[in-house]
Amino acid sequence: MEIRFIEAPTPDPEALEKGRLLFAGETTFLKGVVAMDGLPDADRTEVCFAGRSNVGKSSLINALTGRKGLARASNTPGRTQEINFFTAGDIYVVDLPGYGFANAPVAVVEKWQRLLKQYLSGRQTLRRVFVLIDARHGAKEVDEEIMSLLDRSAVTFQVVMTKVDKLRGDALDASLAKTRTALAKHPAAYPEIILSSSEKGDGVETLRAIIAGIA
């Protein structure tokens, strides 16, 4: 049976409130990790955010938590060089290094990529990966590489399309169609796509509710 990837529906009021409460308290930066032996104890549910450099991960985490400076956003691709752990309620929210192009030496980039793959394939408390895709470009080859890794690791991932406010009408529909085609090849893909804009706040409440439901 072919899976149809629909836009994530608006959660019901109870789910929205659960999401609001999860992030209403203080979200704090726990630590940045550069090697697997530096990971915090796997004693709670984790959700993480993955995506190409400059896709808007840090900005989305800041919008999600309501704290502008929590995750470091930068116009320089590849600035996030560590796996950054944040605590929100009784879960970990994890910001992964941007993959793809990075403004750093090749050896450094390769080290990040190895760490990224080790984490995604070996963290037993990781419940869902949110794979961020820039709506202006749709899924690219490097996104599909991460999706394939998640397939092999049997880790459920859900696509969040970022910067949807930059597109209108037919352009957004075309980007969605391209992304749906890419997702159809990946058995670990969750069948709902979240449309988001950190700048406008679109999709943030929905994402909070989804994370609260996982927790």
| 36 residue type, one letter | M
Cβ–Cβ under 8 Å, residues 119 and 40: no
- What pLDDT is stored for residue 103 in this prediction? 64
pTM of the model: 0.91
CA angle 11, 14, 17 (to 5 degrees): 90
The b/e string for 89-122 (b: 16+ C-beta within 10 A; e otherwise) is bebbbbbbbbbbebebeeeebebbbebbbebbee
What is the model's pLDDT at position 156?
Answer: 94
Regions of the chain short of the pLDDT cut 50 = 74-75, 78
For 36-86, the pLDDT digits (tens) are 999 999 999 999 999 988 888 888 999 999 887 787 654 455 455 788 999
Q: What is the residue extent of each domain of the chain?
A: 6-214
Q: Residue 80: its pLDDT value, please?
A: 56
DSSP category for residue 130: E
User: Which CATH code fits 6-214?
Assistant: 3.40.50.300
